[in-house]
Amino acid sequence: MRHSFDASGGGGRTMFECRLWVFACSVVLFTICLAVMPDSIREKPCSDCAGWYFPVAENLANGKGLVIGNQSRPALDRPPGQVLFLSGLFRIVPAHLVSREVAVYAYNIFLLSISSVLLFSISCSVWGVRGGTVTVGLWVTSPFVLWFLNQPYSEVPFFVALYSGVWLALKARRTRHSIGWLILVGIALGVATLIRPIGFALLVPIAVFLWTSATRRARKIRAVEVFVVVLGYVTILAPWQIYLWDQTREFNFLSDGPHGHRSVVEGFIFGVRSEEYKKEIALHPDVRVFMEDMYEIVYLHDRDPELFERYGPDGLYDVRSIRSLVQIAGDRFAQDLSLAVRFIWLKVTRSWYGTDSHNHEGIAALLQGFYLIVCVLGSIGAWKQKKGQNLMVLVWGVTVYFWMFAVVFTPLVRYMVPALGLLFLIAPGFCQFLRLKNDDSIYR
């Protein structure tokens, strides 16, 4: 098996034919899963979808502009990536022909199947067609992926943009004339960031990969390559940033809304039952007291004159400010280092299995434990070959990136799913780790 993105597969099929098969099989499997999915899961609510993505996309599709619902206020609370895609979908597929629900189902199935093809292509470049099939098999059967089928979650197009960026980065590294590919890497990362702001610093692990995977090249050449990626990234973000400035007359990076503040707050109180739908979870007494105190400070300070004076508007620690929230928590941690260790460790571990409602976390932890064992041992197998090493550095770099964001904000498995797809790229190395064959992997 030749190790290139355009290598022929086994059984006499070309790589193009293999990709078509992967796409077709993914479409069929996702469609079947959606059809047999229990109503309780298929009809699960999505507040962001009903309150933002649908109404803003409808307005844009109907020529009313990028505004919120029936209001005339510009929709600046989130970057416009997913809204732009949905509005295009709604224009292509009018509601009087196909219901919005069915259109979104088709949209999700199509994009998740494209993600399958991208992961297959990357995996094949190292492990061959059979290894690529292992990667896709893990992806299309993962409950964490299937969970995104029923609503216009922004993660779905984000997967495509992210995996395109990774595929292009690997392609650029294996091509002598790589400038064009590197511009496309930046464009893909820019699109990912406009879909989900969590992607804003993906340039860092990608740049580290590009720098460390070409140590034989002069530093100036590598610096130019990284600059080209940044240039593509900035080119995509610039129009939106200019529009934000024009609407607000102040600098806002990616959005002008409360979501960053809300995410920071949720990162401090995620263990308490702040909403009716959330289930109680076991917490160390010190951690629970800390979270309950933070909840009271943020949401109940107006009920106590002393707290209001300290934490209310114009107070010493105005909780409307992210900086104040971090300072309040930091002061508590400085006074009790054991609390800081317990709290951070809780976030580090829950990032892999935590759910917003705190339901089904035991099953999620078991499944993630299986995935991680396979992928960690697969990393050892990948280290045995140069291409596997490069892939492993890129995959784990991006994984650590998403892990850090889950720890800093809310530790939810949902935020780790993009990284999970990349981890599946090194899962085929598990058999190489087991040394089923001495000199040649069974995937070749």
Instruction: Based on the fold, state whether residues 55 and 84 are members of the same structural domain.
Output: yes
Q: Do residues 134 and 15 share a domain?
A: yes
Within this chain, do residues 398 and 325 fall inside the same structural domain, yes or no? no
**CA nearest 169: which of 131, 211, 115?**
211
Same domain as 167, residue 23: yes
| Listed residues 323, 350, 377: the one ending a domain | 350
The per-residue pLDDT for 73 is 85
Are 282 and 371 contained in the same domain? no
Minimal CA–CA distance to 283: which of 228, 339, 329?
339
pLDDT for 56 equals: 93
Residues 32 and 123 reside in one and the same domain: yes
Structure tokens at 42: 């298929």
Q: How many CA atoms lie within 13 A of 153 on its CB side?
A: 22
Q: For residues 148 and 203, state if they share a domain.
A: yes
- Measured in degrees and rounded to the nearest 5, phi and psi for residue 143 equal -60, -30
Does the residue 5 lie in any domain?
no
- Same domain flag for 228 and 192: yes
Residues 132 and 277 in one domain: no
Q: What is the pLDDT tens value at each position of the chain, 444 positions in all?
A: 344 333 344 455 788 999 999 999 999 999 999 999 888 777 777 878 888 899 999 999 999 899 987 767 899 989 999 999 999 999 999 888 898 899 999 999 999 999 999 999 999 999 999 999 999 999 999 999 999 999 999 999 999 999 999 999 999 988 877 899 999 999 999 999 999 999 999 999 999 999 988 777 788 888 999 999 999 999 999 999 999 999 988 898 998 878 888 899 999 999 987 777 888 899 999 999 999 999 999 999 888 888 888 998 888 899 988 999 999 999 999 999 999 999 999 999 999 999 988 989 999 999 999 999 999 999 988 888 878 888 999 999 999 999 999 999 999 999 999 999 999 999 999 877 776 445 554 445
- Let me know whether 248 and 362 are in one domain: yes
CA 283 – CA 268 distance, rounded (Å) = 13
Burial of 37 (0-12, 13-18, 19+ CB in 10 A): middle
In a domain, 236, yes or no: yes
Whether 266 maps to a domain, the answer reads no
Q: Does residue 443 lie within any of the structural domains?
A: no
DSSP state, residue 50 = I
21/168 same-domain check = yes
Read off the pLDDT of residues 78-112 as tens digits, 9 standing for 90 and up. Answer: 999 999 999 999 999 988 889 889 999 999 999 99
* The domain boundary residue, chosen from 350, 373, 392: 350
Domain edge (last residue) among 350, 368, 388: 350
pLDDT at 12: 56
- The answer as to whether 369 is a domain residue is yes
Cβ 180 vs Cβ 225: under 8 Å: no
Residue span of the structural domain in which 53 resides: 10-257+358-434
What are the respective helix, strand and coil percentages of the chain, to the nearest 5? 70, 0, 30
- State pLDDT tens for residues 184-213: 999 999 999 999 999 999 999 999 999 988
Single-letter code of the amino acid located at 167: W
347 with 407: CB under 8 angstroms?
A: yes
